[in-house]
Structure 1
Amino acid sequence: MQDNLSSSIVVENAQKGVSRIIFSNSPSNSMPIDLLQELVMTIENLGEDENVQVIILQSGGERTFCSGANFEQLLQIKDEKSGEIFFNGFAKVINACRKSPKIIIGRVQGKSVGGGVGLAAATDYCFATQFASIKLSELNIGIIPAVIEPAVERKIGLSAFSKLTFNPNDFFSAEWAKENGLFMEVFEDIKSMDEAVENLANRLTTYNPEALTTLKRVLWKNTDNWDELLAERAEISGRLVLSEFTKRTLGRK
């Protein structure tokens, strides 16, 4: 059975001081550019809201967390500029998470591919279920996970990132992702994960907001150049997606 979702972003006030962002795009929560742009604005707006201390980032449905960039839009890229704009989508979401003064908790209920792994890595503390396996499939179509690499490597290290990248056909288990630092905790089911998410969010709201904001800056040390870095990475991906290899590969899909 597939998730029956419409393309949308919904913001819910989970409890005092906590806001929940739910992004959805049927059937596998892929992210078209307009949804990514809306997600950036939503994260930024909540970051400026004095009534919000904690943000929970999640997707709709009970299966795939995020299958990455929207494949239909990928096929429509015809020049380097449009390719750069396309890949900048996830770059801007990662930077919005990084620069937000609020702690962002990730809630990952199912599989993540490509940019979806980048979204999980951009959160400050990420929970997952046992079904939340991950994959970086970019080499299969002749590109590389250039934009999300800084966020993912920051969490799991170069060695684990290399293992993911050089095995683009393989899903790595949620336990593997936990052992390597992407997920902090892994649960048997969504219900137990949600209880843990809510418990942490509630507990964080009892702490000094200034301390949380300061901690956020400490956690993201040495990333002040990411606006420029991720924009450069988007250019690289925008160029690679126009290669003859990629055109041939996409033509077969």
Structure 2
Amino acid sequence: MNFQNILLENEGQISTITINRPQSLNALNGATISELSEALSQLEQDSNCRVIIITGSGEKSFVAGADIKEFSDFGQDKAEELARNGQNSLFNKIENLRKPVIAAVNGFALGGGLELAMACHIRYASENAKLGLPEVTLGLIPGYGGTQRLPKLVGKGLANELIFSAKMISAARAKEIGLVNEVFSLEELLSKTKELATLISKNSPQGISKAIAAVNASDSAEGYELEIKSFGKLFEMEDKKEGVSAFLEKRKPNF
């Protein structure tokens, strides 16, 4: 597929998706959501890819929000369809992908942009990043999972404060409340993200895949049972055999 709104770069076992709509501060429109979904499907099936990074082009914006012009005249049914399709095709897909996805937040991450970052498994940000959910200033609420994922990351009280006030917060504040993992200079952001991705890529893909599913189930009643079942299943899989053999033989595993 020839992508018009994103760039896809493969570097060893790390793949980087760059949202490339600088003229609109990388705002998410339908075409971009579709291309991101397609790229993620390709990478999930690519045995050479072990970790995925999502970032934005330029130095100002990760994703400045959804492209409001696309849905400004929607009614209830079309708006619900927009939110449901976006959730199913992209945001939930990222969260449940079998490979780790890291957001490298290089500037504004607002509305759908912050929701995209929150769907990723890990978030690194640049010092100039600004994060927020401004939907209530439009008479709306976040529609791509913001009301669900933000409380899990920062707690209900802080989530309510950010959503109700629509204020933007700095990268430093985002790290303080647990919304992002680490903050770096803009110049260092991508290299530091790739350092983490490289570290992750050396570990068991089968183990990481099961860990993603187990962590995602951590707030459900089935979480412990899923962890137990996943732990057991891994004992029958190749990565466990290689990992344990390598440990006993005092060598590095070759996953």
- Which category describes the TM-score, using the shorter chain as reference length? 0.7 to 0.9
Among 38, 41, 45, the residue aligned to 1:44? 41
Answer yes or no: is the 8 Å Cα contact 2:98–2:209 preserved in 1. Answer: yes
The yes-or-no answer on 1:80 pairing with 2:94 is: no
The change in CA–CA distance for 1:122 and 1:134 in structure 2 (over 3 A counts) is same
With structure 1 as the length reference, what TM-score do the two structures score? Answer: 0.79
1:76 deviates by 3.2
The change in CA–CA distance for 1:222 and 1:80 in structure 2 (over 3 A counts) is farther
1:8 deviates by 0.9
The change in CA–CA distance for 1:140 and 1:30 in structure 2 (over 3 A counts) is same
Structure with the greater relative contact order (CA < 8 A, sep ≥ 6): 1 or 2? Answer: 1
Partner of 1:173: 170
Q: Mapping of 1:1-253 within 5 angstroms? A: 8-14=5-11, 16-25=12-21, 26-77=23-74, 79-92=75-88, 93-148=90-145, 149-168=147-166, 170-187=167-184, 189-221=185-217
1:99 deviates by 1.8
Q: Which runs of 5+ in 2 are unaligned?
A: 221-255
For the pair shown, the structure with the greater C-alpha radius of gyration is 2
- Other structure's SS at 2:63 match: coil
What is the alpha-carbon distance in structure 2 between the residues aligned to residue 209 and residue 46 of structure 1?
13
What is the alpha-carbon distance in structure 2 between the residues aligned to residue 44 and residue 7 of structure 1?
17
- Other structure's SS at 1:155 match: helix
What is the alpha-carbon distance in structure 1 between the residues aligned to residue 195 and residue 180 of structure 2?
17
Number of residues of Structure 1 aligned to a counterpart in Structure 2 = 215
With structure 2 as the length reference, what TM-score do the two structures score? Answer: 0.79
The change in CA–CA distance for 1:87 and 1:220 in structure 2 (over 3 A counts) is same
Sequence identity (%): 25
What is the alpha-carbon distance in structure 2 between the residues aligned to residue 89 and residue 30 of structure 1?
17
Answer yes or no: is the 8 Å Cα contact 1:94–1:151 preserved in 2. Answer: no
Q: Which runs of 5+ in 1 are unaligned?
A: 1-5, 225-253
